[in-house]
């Protein structure tokens, strides 16, 4: 025996993923986090102007989230009833426009800095400031029913911003243990809305995919390597821009011909589903050109 | 969201009311996005769910590979990790499983039947038909010679002790049932259906 210890290279056996189904939104911190992330991403993006507007929207959401006013979370009884029927406890179709929503929308419209914005945006913001309650309510309904008329598409994204504040606030008050998967596991278990994208996390649930709701910002677990639209595991592939850093990919399904985005936190801890989705619209363009349709739109870029 | 480059360009080029971006006066951004992707191509990878072949714990694995099944391109496994959604291993692997990629690409990996003739010092590639016929023949010879129908007290035992069988892990209930029935009906006693190997 020479007494030498044999040397081996690193061999990763991985980390055990915690069994967690839902992550409720971190209200109101999430809007600050988004504003900061969007600011980082916007600078080098081809759509820097539009993403710059998004930074202002997220900052305004952060301020609007501190406004006074009560929201009413569903009663324990209502949550139990929703759970019994595998329905979302704060379903969008039973939502009635509230004073807090209108206040948030008016606040956002008034407090976005006009400096350097296109005249069209400034006009839309001015119009929103003067609009009656009824119009604001109609904008919210149009978004929640995915039926935004073309001439409302500018205003609608600010209504979305106010709705996000409202729904994230209610969702953050829900009892986590009462939230269970819906019969349609690709929809938000809190409000029933479609996700903007999925994130493969690198924290205590290492390697698991969490979808992120485009409305209430709840994240929920969805098994990896399975189409979030039709559930098949067979014809799923990952599309990314050649030579890319592997952070953003599109999970495409050859069965139902849809795709959804997936971000790998292991490659970049800072990824945030909504911001990174908006910052990778070029990937959407390429994958759409290749013949797949997006599973559901990003609420800030509703229809092309 | 219909987001192809053509409609994006059209919208950016002035067709009114095409999207939130155009409506809000960011038509130039749309054009810039469409231009930015022009020089690039998409790269396709797959992630495939499978079961680690080593032992009866049957850990879930995710295999990452390059290449496009539909285009007859060469497929290559580039990475293997534990399946974080699998209830058994929740994303982890033992050192054997963590070394699976080398197992896949190993130069000494057995891909087809090899035969070393009695007295020979080298392995030769043979057909599956040859291998299966040869194994069957040798098993039958051995069984005919050594099968024990009754013990010294005259009690029927039907045992065949001179041949044993090792089956692998990651089998379904149906495979395990078939294996059991086949092997036991021959009278084989030395039988392990797990990969403690």
Of A210-214, A256-260, B38-42, B114-118, the one with minimum mean pLDDT is: B38-42
Among B35, B47, B68, beta carbon nearest to A225: B47
Which of A14-18, A109-113, B31-35 has the largest mean confidence? A109-113
pTM value?
Answer: 0.85
- Which of the residue ranges A47-51, B13-17, B130-134 would you say has the lowest mean pLDDT? B13-17
For residue B52, the chain A residues in CB contact (below 8 A) are none
Interface contact flag, B7 A14, Cβ < 8 Å: no
Give the domain-ending residue among A178, A206, A235. Answer: A178
In a shared domain, residues A238 and A144: no
The β-bridge partners of B59 are none
Do A208 and A160 lie in one domain? The reply is no
Question: Looking at domain B45-105, which of 2.20.25.90, 3.30.70.100, 3.40.50.720, 3.40.50.2020 is its CATH number?
Answer: 2.20.25.90
The Cα of A148 is separated from the nearest Cα of chain B by a number of Å equal to 11
Q: Which residue out of B9, B25, B97 would a mutagenesis test of the A interface target, given it has the greatest number of A Cβ atoms within 10 Å?
A: B25
How many angstroms away from the CA of B7 is the closest CA of chain A? 7
Listing DSSP states for chain B in one string gives ----HHHHHHHHTT-TTSSHHHHTT-HHHHHHHHHHTTT--EEEEEEEEEE-SSSTT--EEEEEEES-GGGTPPPEEEEEEE-TT-TTTTT---HHHHTHHHHHH-TT---S-EE--TT--S-EE--HHHHHHHHHHHHHHHHHHH-EEE-TT--EEEEB-S--EE--SS--HHHHHHHHHHHHHTTB--EE-S---
Check B20 against A302: CB less than 8 A apart. yes
pLDDT at res. B13: 35
Nearest-angstrom CA–CA distance, A268 and A245: 9
Summarize the confidence of residues B40-49 as an average pLDDT: 92
* Degrees to nearest 5, angle at CA B184 with B179 and B188: 110
Task: Supply the pLDDT for residue B71.
Answer: 59
pLDDT number for residue B15: 33
| Residue A71 is assigned to a structural domain of this protein | yes
In a domain, A6, yes or no: no
CA of B106 to nearest chain A CA: how many angstroms apart?
Answer: 17
Q: Phi then psi for B47, rounded to 5 degrees?
A: -120, 125
Give yes or no for residue A10 having a pLDDT over 80. no
Would residue A11 count as lying in a domain? no
pLDDT higher than 80, residue B11: no
Interface of A with B in 207-236 (CB under 8 A): 207-208, 223-225, 233, 236
Residue B25 has pLDDT above 80, yes or no: yes
Residue A287: pLDDT band by 50, 70, 90 thresholds?
very high
* Per-residue H/E/C for A71-90: CCCCCHHHHHHHHHCCCCCC
Confidence at A151, pLDDT banded by 50, 70, 90: confident
Q: Which of A46-60, A95-109, A277-291, B29-43 has the lowest mean pLDDT?
A: B29-43
Q: What is the pLDDT of residues B171-193, one digit of tens each?
A: 778 888 888 899 999 999 998 87
Q: Is the pLDDT at A101 greater than 70, yes or no? A: yes
Give the pLDDT mean for A126-131: 95
Predicted local confidence at residue B6, as pLDDT? 54
Q: Residue A98 CB: number of other CB atoms within 10 A?
A: 17
Looking at the complex, does the CB of residue A50 fall below 8 Å from at least one CB of chain B?
Answer: yes
Can you tell me the ipTM of this complex?
A: 0.86
pLDDT(B68) > 90? no
Same domain, residue pair A249 and A276: yes
If one counts the domains in chain A, the total is 2
Write down the pLDDT at residue A72. Answer: 85
Q: Which of A49, A156, A239 sits opposite B26 (nearest CB)?
A: A49
Same domain, A169 and A214: no
Separation between Cα atoms, residue A288 and residue A301, nearest integer Å: 15
Q: Is A90 exposed, middle or buried (0-12, 13-18, 19+ CB in 10 A)?
A: buried
pLDDT of residue B170: 66
Q: Which long-range contacts (CB under 8 A, 24 or more apart) does A90-94 make?
A: A90/A167, A90/A170, A90/A171, A90/A174, A90/A190, A90/A191, A90/A216, A91/A191, A91/A192, A92/A144, A92/A167, A92/A191, A92/A192, A92/A193, A92/A215, A93/A144, A93/A192
Predicted confidence at residue A7, as pLDDT, reads 65
Q: Are residues A142 and A52 in the same domain?
A: yes
Shared-domain flag, residues A50 and A97: yes
Instruction: Supply A51's token pair.
Output: 């993403």
Position A304 scores a pLDDT of 41
| Residue A96 and residue A157 share a domain | yes
What SS3 string covers chain A? CCCCCCCCCCCCCCCCCCCCCEECCCCCHHHHHHHHHHHHHHCCCCCHHHHHHHHHHHHHHHHHCCCCCCCCCCCHHHHHHHHHCCCCCCCHHHCCCCHHHHHHHHHHHHHCCCCCCCHHHHHHHHHHHHCCHHHHHHHHHHHHCCCCCHHHHHHHHHHHHHHHHHHHHHHHCCCHHHCCCCCCCCCCCCCCCCEEEEEECCCCCCCCEEEEECCCCCEEECCCCCCCCCCCCCCEEEEEECCCCCCEEEEEECCCCEEEEEEECCCCCCCCHHHHHHCCHHHHHHHHHCCCEECCCCCCCCCC
Q: What is the pLDDT of residues B153-176, one digit of tens each?
A: 999 999 999 999 887 766 778 888
Are residues A13 and B95, on separate chains, in Cβ contact within 8 Å?
yes
Residues A90 and A204 in one domain: no
Q: Provide the mean pLDDT of chain A.
A: 93
Instruction: Say if CB A193 and CB A222 are below 8 A apart.
Output: no
Domain enclosing residue A30, as ranges: 23-178
Q: Which of A127, A147, A178 is the last residue of a domain?
A: A178
Which region among A13-17, A202-206, B139-143 has the lowest average model confidence (pLDDT)? Answer: A13-17
* Chain A nearest CA to B151, separation (Å): 51
Q: Of the residues A143, A178, A213, which one is the last residue of a structural domain? A: A178
User: Which of B2, B35, B92 is opposite residue A14, by nearest beta carbon?
Assistant: B92
* Cβ <8 Å between B43 and A298: no
Q: Does A240 touch chain B (CB under 8 A)?
A: yes
Does A72 share its domain with A218? no
- CA A284: distance to chain centroid? 16
pLDDT band, very low/low/confident/very high, at B3 (cuts 50, 70, 90): low
Is B47 in contact with A225 (CB distance < 8 Å)?
yes
Report domain extents, chain B: 5-36, 45-105, 147-192
Determine, yes or no, domain membership for A166.
yes
pLDDT at B18: 42
Question: Are A212 and A161 within one domain?
Answer: no
Which chain A residue lies closest to B35 (C-alpha atoms)?
A: A46
The band of B7, judged by pLDDT with boundaries at 50, 70 and 90, is low
Q: Is residue A83 part of a domain?
A: yes
pLDDT of A205 > 60? The answer is yes
Burial class (CB in 10 A: 0-12, 13-18, 19+), A88: buried
Mean pLDDT of A40-61: 96
One domain, residues A33 and A86: yes
How much of chain B, in percent, has pLDDT values that exceed 90? Answer: 56
> HEC profile for A181-210?
CCCCCCCCCCCCCCEEEEEECCCCCCCCEE
Do A237 and A174 lie in a common domain? no
Of A118, A239, A284, nearest to B25 by CB-CB distance is A118
């Amino acid at each position: 025996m020479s007494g030498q210890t044999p040397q081996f290279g690193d061999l990763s056996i991985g980390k055990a993923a915690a069994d967690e189904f839902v992550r409720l939104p971190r209200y109101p911190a999430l809007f600050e986090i988004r504003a900061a992330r969007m600011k980082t991403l916007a600078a080098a993006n081809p759509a820097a102007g539009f993403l710059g507007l998004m930074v202002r929207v997220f900052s305004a959401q952060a301020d609007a989230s501190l406004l006074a006013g009560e929201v009413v979370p569903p009663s324990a009884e209502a949550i139990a009833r929703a759970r019994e029927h595998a329905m979302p406890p704060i379903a969008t179709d039973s939502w009635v426009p509230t004073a807090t929503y209108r206040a948030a929308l008016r606040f956002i419209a008034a407090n976005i800095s006009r400096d350097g914005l296109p005249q069209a945006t400034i006009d839309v913001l001015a119009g929103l400031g003067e609009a009656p309650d009824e119009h604001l309510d109609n904008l919210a309904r149009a978004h929640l029913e995915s039926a935004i008329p073309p001439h409302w598409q500018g205003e609608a994204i600010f209504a979305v911003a106010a709705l996000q504040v409202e729904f994230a606030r209610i969702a953050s008050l829900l009892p986590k243990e009462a939230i269970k998967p819906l019969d349609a596991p690709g929809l938000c278990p809190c409000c029933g809305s479609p996700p903007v994208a999925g994130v493969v996390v690198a924290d205590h649930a290492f390697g698991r995919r969490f979808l992120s709701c485009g409305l209430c910002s709840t994240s929920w677990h969805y098994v990896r390597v399975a189409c979030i639209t039709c559930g098949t595991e067979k014809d799923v592939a990952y599309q990314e821009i050649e030579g890319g850093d592997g952070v953003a990919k599109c999970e495409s399904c050859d069965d139902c011909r849809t795709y959804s985005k997936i971000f790998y936190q292991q490659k970049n801890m800072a990824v945030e589903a909504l911001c990174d989705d908006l910052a990778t619209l070029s990937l959407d363009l390429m994958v759409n050109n290749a013949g797949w349709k997006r599973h559901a739109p990003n609420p800030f870029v509703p229809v092309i | 969201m219909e987001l192809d480059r053509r409609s994006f360009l059209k919208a950016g080029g002035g067709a009114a009311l095409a999207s939130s971006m155009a409506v809000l006066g960011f038509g130039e951004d749309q054009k810039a996005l469409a231009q930015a992707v022009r020089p690039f191509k998409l790269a396709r990878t797959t992630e495939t769910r499978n079961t680690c072949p080593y032992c009866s714990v049957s850990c879930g694995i995710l295999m990452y590979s390059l290449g496009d099944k539909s285009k007859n391109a060469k497929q290559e496994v580039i990475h293997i990790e534990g399946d974080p959604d699998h209830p058994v291993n929740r994303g982890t692997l033992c050192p054997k499983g963590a070394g699976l990629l080398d197992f896949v690409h190993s130069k000494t990996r057995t891909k087809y039947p090899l035969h070393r003739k009695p007295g020979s010092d080298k392995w030769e590639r043979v057909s599956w038909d040859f291998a299966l016929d040869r194994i069957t023949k040798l098993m039958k010879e051995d069984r005919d010679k050594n099968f024990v129908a009754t013990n010294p007290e005259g009690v029927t035992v039907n045992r065949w002790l001179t041949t044993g069988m090792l089956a692998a892990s990651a089998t379904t209930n149906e495979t395990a049932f078939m294996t059991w029935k086949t092997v036991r009906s021959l009278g084989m006693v030395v039988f392990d259906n797990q990969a403690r190997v």
